[in-house]
Amino acid sequence: MNAFSEIVELKGHIIDSLSLPRVLDAILAQGGEFEFESVSIGRTRAEQSVVKIRVSAPDQATLESVLAYIEREGANRLDQGDAQFVPAPADGVFPDGFYCTTNLPTRVRINGSWLAVERIEMDCGIVVADGRAVTTPMNHVRAGDAVVVGHEGVRVETRPRAREAGVFEFMASAVSSEKPKTVMIAAVARMIAETKRAGKRVLLVAGPAVVHAGSTEAVAGMIRGGRIDLLFAGNALALHDIEAAIYGTSLGVSVKEGKPAAHGHEHHLRAVNTVRGVGSIAEAVRRGIITRGIMYECVRAGIPYVLAGSIRDDGPLPDVITDTLEAQDAMRAQIPGVGLALMVGTTLHSVATGNMLPAEVEVVAVDINPAVVTKLSDRGTHQAIGVVTDAALFMQELARMLGEEGLCAAF
Amino acid sequence: MRRFLMCPPDHYGIEYEINPWMRREHPADHALAAAQWGNLYETLGEMPDTQIELVNPAPGLPDMVFTANAGLIKGDLFIASRFRYPERQGEEEHFERWFASHGFVVETLPDALKFEGAGDVLRAGDTWFGAYYYRSAPAALAAVSEILGEEVLPLRLVDERFYHLDTCFLPVGDSLVYYPGAFDQYSLTVIRGMFPDAIEVTPEEVATFACNSVVIGEWVLMNTGAPRLCAALAARGLSCVTTELSEFLKAGGAAKCLTLAL
């Protein structure tokens, strides 16, 4: 079923007169598709039949031309009613039957006109107030807020994706570890360049594997070069990075030599203790305690980062937001303006971020495990493109292609 | 007694163009039109058990002469037309007033649905057929069916020269005379399924408005120029009665359009 759709009604003696097949054939011939919403066949010769048909098309223009065509054959657009609202019964609770959002552009009909819903995010509700309709997470709704219920007066649209054919086209197919990596990484490099050119921000969502597998320099270089504008991660990535910056190890193992350092397992805790002692990562950078790495480059370049905590965190670092709802809000606050999300080596943060992104944001998920991309798609981030490869190798090759290593200045 | 409503052609003329037959540079000869209308009036009046009523013509409404488009009649029920073109909408009040003052119950369609009466809805066999596309709206046919409490099968017209059902579809007894080129494939399937013995009219003869005829028992009153149809009708025991109506063909109408069976 295409995303652009309207319901039409065809009424009268439409069976014996072949009016119904005429309309259905016309829909298909004009480039549309149909689905029956309801069918009521007259029980006597005099009684009329009424069918409601959902007509859909791949784009709005085709839909309009299909509707105009079949209108002359008697299939009239149903006058859809306004969206219905019910007050939220309590803080943090939606009313029964609340409309559950998608990550697609959405409109609600209020007083006969279609109002664009602000701040698109999946799995939320829609609160209407002061002539505005705003996507609202469950924990943010307040008792008495007017919440949209049911599907009447709600219209979801998709824009045709402006992705070029060729590499991007085949990347949009199912996740596979069999695709030529170099071609795919080059395509991602081009997406970054295009995102920047369009004046949009590039978000990196990264797991600790990026550090302990040895691509800190590649990521730091991309931040330094202005290729990344925003970082979402957890305590682990930041702490591994800071441990490497201070001790040259990641979880006690030398990042350069791959050998365990003496008492290396303590480095991790000593690093977090040090940063806690000065109050923040930025302060540790200012005092010269952290002199290189991903977090260092973020602080130096003024790149915003959101570190969200989890139950297994050591420390955590003072910058880590341990209240998950607060962390979600901090992430949400940064999402406007993001055009491309690069998710590398993390399942938890990838899914959390995917949940918040509007469908028009391009998502590239890189993981050695194909299940991560599948999981993202299963949770509604259908736009995610998967690259199945080692996270560190991917970042190194990407940085090289972006010219940060001085090897290639293609962009 | 068969009663018909006619309207004298006092104000008849080609004053606008709302179908492919009308061309202002080919005006009707007024005296000839009056004579042809008079002949039709007399011929019809001479048919057994017929009576003709007249509605007063109104200035500025040249097509009021085509009374078949005034509305649809069933018993004492009159469903008033709602003309598609503004040029004819002025006729509505005159016809409604006449029917209301002659003992008819006047019904109108909801939502100003376009509907052109007995020009587009005809009974053939035991079924009402309604044409749409050029004049009447499909939704109007559904509304008419509701008022009648009977089935009305919609037919889709595809040739703008045959813009009303009564220009290409002539019920005769339990059978039908029709022009296949005026209907789409779906409607042709319906017509052929319901009237396997229907007479198909040639493109040449349909252009003489041979389908726009008045059937009275075994008599078929029509314009001249359709000898093949008349021969086919004769084979079924029906006789053509022809009367020249050339001046009215210039406006896209003939015998059936000029009369409304009451």
pLDDT category at A59 given cuts 50, 70, 90 is confident
With helix as H, strand as E and coil as C, how does A130-186 read?
Answer: CCEEEEECHHHCCCCCEEEECCCCEEECCCCCCCCCCHHHHHCCCCCCCCCHHHHHH
* Chain B positions in Cβ-Cβ contact with residue A24 (cut-off 8 Å): none
pLDDT given for residue A3 in this prediction: 63
More confident residue, A166 or B46: B46
Q: Give CA–CA dist A136/A117, Å, rounded.
A: 10
Contacting residues of A for B142, CB less than 8 Å apart: 11-13, 48, 74
What's residue A2's pLDDT? Answer: 59
- pLDDT tens readout for residues A17-47: 999 999 999 999 999 999 999 999 999 988 9
Q: Could you tell me if B220 and B233 are in contact, meaning their C-beta atoms sit under 8 angstroms apart?
A: yes
* Contacts with A326 (C-beta within 8 Å, 6 or more apart), sequence order: none
- Give me the helices (H) in A263-382, please: 267-278, 281-286, 294-301, 324-334, 348-356, 371-378
Using DSSP, state whether B185 is helix, strand or coil: helix
- Scan for tokens 């010769």, then name that residue: A45
Q: Each residue of B110-123: pLDDT tens digit? A: 867 999 999 999 99
Where residue B96 falls (left for φ over 0; alpha for ψ -120 to 50; beta otherwise) is alpha
pLDDT digits (tens, 9 = 90+) for A224-283: 999 999 999 999 999 999 999 999 888 778 777 777 877 778 898 999 999 999 999 999
State how far residue A130 is from chain B, nearest Cα, in angstroms: 34
Q: What pLDDT, on the 0 to 100 scale, is given for residue A375?
A: 82
A108 CA to chain B: closest CA distance, Å?
27
Contact by Cβ (8 Å): B37, B94:
no
User: How far is residue A304's CA from residue A317's CA, in Å, rounded to a whole number?
Assistant: 16
Residues composing chain B: 262
Polymer length in residues for chain A: 411
Give the best residue of B115, B126, B128, B141 to mutate against chain A (max A CB count within 10 A). Answer: B141
pLDDT of B19 higher than 70: yes
Give the minimum alpha-carbon distance from A62 to chain B in angstroms, rounded to a whole number: 22
**Whole-angstrom distance, CA of residue A217 vs CA of residue B152:** 79
- Tell whether A43 lies on the interface with B, counting CB pairs under 8 A: no
Pairwise CB contact (< 8 Å): B139 & A76: yes
Closest CA to A69 of A128, A24, A134, A5: A24
Q: Report residue A291's pLDDT band, with 50, 70 and 90 as the boundaries.
A: very high
d(CA A74, CA A65): 15
Quote the CA–CA distance of A38 and B142 in Å, as a whole number.
18
If 0-12 CB within 10 Å is exposed, 13-18 middle and 19+ buried, where does residue B121 land? buried
Residues of B contacting chain A (CB within 8 angstroms): 132-133, 137-139, 141-142, 145-146, 149-156, 184, 186-187, 189-190
Cα–Cα nearest to B30, from B198, B250, B204, B256: B250
DSSP assignment of A51-91: EEEEEEESSHHHHHHHHHHHHTTT-EEP---PPEEEE-SBT
What is the CA B50 to chain-centroid distance, rounded?
18
